[in-house]
Structure 1
């Protein structure tokens, strides 16, 4: 394993040959390293697919190039015979090579029932069928994130599985919500507490044994009696809570916007906190993710001058595929895909005498840049507030690549809805948004909130519940 914290190897009681589909290498370009002692095989058709995609305008082009470089690094100067046998996989942690990598070439099939060679998936399945015939005693498994390809392969007698190496939870219901709700009165569960007040801030120190649930910094505790607190200190034995007033939270204001419920209030608290550098907001359509983020962003750039500029981007399949064909500058190309930003700008100024005039004024005054994900990759943004919308459509590798672009004095706001994944090879449990939420929940300068309700309109609320 290259990094035990980054991966969860696929283990088996005996050596297995894992044949990887191209979508696995795109999802995680380092996936080859995560099969421990097993044989990893890349079909030649997969290499051809990566070759076609590596120079494209899509976000995945960089992932394709990274996967190709890793394959080249492992194979090195191996001869064709050595590649057919399998080249030992060396990892970057100076551990002895473990497992082998080989390339599966196209072969003429001999008395094997095959699929029509009308597409690459069928060609890969046909090659695996021949491989199984040539190696009858070797367990073979096709690893692909394409559900339909798994179904076809099973129908042909091939063992298959999804790539779960970066899947940290089996059910998104297990994801942290960013808060713990206690029925009744929270203090009924506490036997000892030390309360202090200093400079107008009330803190409660209590034993960690008093709270059975998982805790981390910037997590909120709420109950039915109006109590609300945020974890601001955490040791192996003690928890320090900052007591927050419900009224003060609900009266927070960001560019004229007030929260509509306590969940939005907690989210706004994180958004406006200068010590929180990563905010993750997950919620259903209309729960207020974008308008909260945008209002806080404008407040912190135009009013309080905490950040120099706002970088807004959005992950959609259409954006990756079609932006290159749209006319105009990058900002003009991005405009159709960032309508959610401008729509929410209009909503923030709907009571103004001239909404259009106010929006135009904001766009002129605020250094708000609409950028494609291709622009963000490879850049480093200093003293910037980066808003990434539709994060549920990013792979774990992609979201890591983007978040690591944040430079000194920058803040990242990730927005998403795990119920609206538009990417065919992602599920709620394998989404980059899920991965980030679980992996970074213990980051001391981060926080996440799962927003509730659909305040957009009664129609939207009813549709969300019944359609």
Structure 2
């Protein structure tokens, strides 16, 4: 059965192409939504960019017919700018204030009530990224949904980057002696077809002893190989098996994009910085170490903070300096970490606001707090990566500050899900907190 989908402004600003993702149904955009899009088109951030793109898309659709009557989208669906059904009489009984949200709700409610009077009514559904908007719609008897086309199916089943397999101990011995194992030699994996490139496999003794081995799957040769994981990287030693996997990904030159997720205190940023310093300062593999993190919430202008650009950035990049201070302890007599970083010309710390539009060749790039980025923002950033560069995306999908993102729709989750099949990428989910016992406890119970 066809449905009428009433779109909230935040859906279009989140995904300007969303009108093409509702199959053969009727898409309704209230006039107030067009007004809100117009108000935001002057913004010099991701919201403004998306608002301008929405305007161009609507202009293209407009050329095919009258938007107030409905225009065919070419996929069986239609798009209509709703100029009627704007009366606030019905909704004012429940929500008195004449806000833009309530005006959108009024359109959805009036269409819903009109459809109920018909012999074969079409279901009316309000689509919004705003949870409260959906709650208000449901309280009025209107069906409401989140915009789901950019979400992975199930966050609990998100690719972790590793699996554990119980094998005969003789296979573990063979792995250490021969330095590899063929997939066909492992009966438990012989029929498994969904192993991904650079996926890690932990072999455990099927009889319960402590004997084990950690391997990396080479899809090209269909074999399991040893990890490249030195005892220490810039005096940082891996404390658990997932950290060993992370170091392997970070130090390998054949992997251009690395994603690391995990709760607070698992060592994501510290490991990335340590490996970045090794690659840029010691091995000279990359010309520069570039570290960036979003201004939270993403896209807000930092011009309202006092001082010059560097002073404005300090509150946002202080966690980076904390990690650098740990890494440089004992290496530099100067205790002022800001002076140390300023003296090393090939280390750059930026806000993501200043990365757009750049081309970044032969650099080791670390994007911290990537869970606060949308899929489109992540795409914009990755598309900036130049030749011979490596990009590392770090984030905790359970700690999101962006009001319109969740664990299934944020940028880093999307990259983990979409890039897992490619040999130039690798992912690992860090599990165990190593910052402190109290940090580990807080991450678990709070």
The normalised TM-score by structure 2 is 0.89
> Would you say the 8 A contact 1:186–1:227 is kept in 2?
no
1:98 to 71, 76, 90: 76
The C-alpha deviation readout for 1:113-161, integer Å capped at 9, x for no partner, is 4332432111100122222344442321111111111111111121111
| 1:86 alignment partner in structure 2 | 70
The C-alpha deviation readout for 1:225-264, integer Å capped at 9, x for no partner, is 2311111234xxx7212134xxx7351x333322222211
| 2:5 alignment partner in structure 1 | 18
The C-alpha deviation readout for 1:341-363, integer Å capped at 9, x for no partner, is 11100011223463525652343
How far apart are the structure 2 equivalents of 1:60 and 1:232?
41
1:349 to 323, 328, 339: 328
Q: Does 1:51 align with 2:38?
A: yes
> Would you say the 8 A contact 1:75–1:101 is kept in 2?
no
Counting only pairs closer than 5 Å after superposition, residues 370-389 of structure 1 correspond to structure 2 as 370-389=349-368
How far apart are the structure 2 equivalents of 1:194 and 1:297?
30
> Would you say the 8 A contact 2:263–2:396 is kept in 1?
yes
How far apart are the structure 1 equivalents of 2:88 and 2:283?
72
Offset of 1:397 from its aligned partner? 2.1
Change (3 A) 1:98 1:108: closer
> Would you say the 8 A contact 1:143–1:161 is kept in 2?
yes
Offset of 1:76 from its aligned partner? 2.6
Change (3 A) 1:34 1:439: same
| 1:231 alignment partner in structure 2 | 217
How far apart are the structure 1 equivalents of 2:127 and 2:339?
50
Change (3 A) 1:186 1:344: farther
How far apart are the structure 2 equivalents of 1:383 and 1:414?
17
Q: How many residues end up aligned between the 2 structures?
A: 431
Change (3 A) 1:86 1:72: same
Task: In structure 1, list runs of 5 or more residues that go unmatched.
Answer: 1-13, 91-96
How far apart are the structure 2 equivalents of 1:316 and 1:99?
38
The normalised TM-score by structure 1 is 0.85
> Would you say the 8 A contact 1:18–1:40 is kept in 2?
yes
| 2:277 alignment partner in structure 1 | 298
The C-alpha deviation readout for 1:23-43, integer Å capped at 9, x for no partner, is 111221211111121111111
How far apart are the structure 2 equivalents of 1:312 and 1:189?
39
| 2:62 alignment partner in structure 1 | 75
| 1:131 alignment partner in structure 2 | 111
1:109 to 81, 87, 90: 87
> Would you say the 8 A contact 1:331–1:369 is kept in 2?
no
SS at match of 1:443: coil
How far apart are the structure 2 equivalents of 1:373 and 1:456?
26
Change (3 A) 1:110 1:47: closer
Change (3 A) 1:126 1:103: same
| 1:434 alignment partner in structure 2 | 413
Task: In structure 2, list runs of 5 or more residues that go unmatched.
Answer: 205-210
| 2:380 alignment partner in structure 1 | 401
How far apart are the structure 2 equivalents of 1:127 and 1:358?
56
SS at match of 1:222: strand
| 1:152 alignment partner in structure 2 | 136
Q: Does 1:241 align with 2:218?
A: no
Which deviates more from structure 2 when the two are superposed, residues 293-302 or residues 338-347? 293-302
| 2:180 alignment partner in structure 1 | 203
> Would you say the 8 A contact 1:19–1:42 is kept in 2?
yes
RMSD, matched Cα: 2.6
SS at match of 1:313: strand
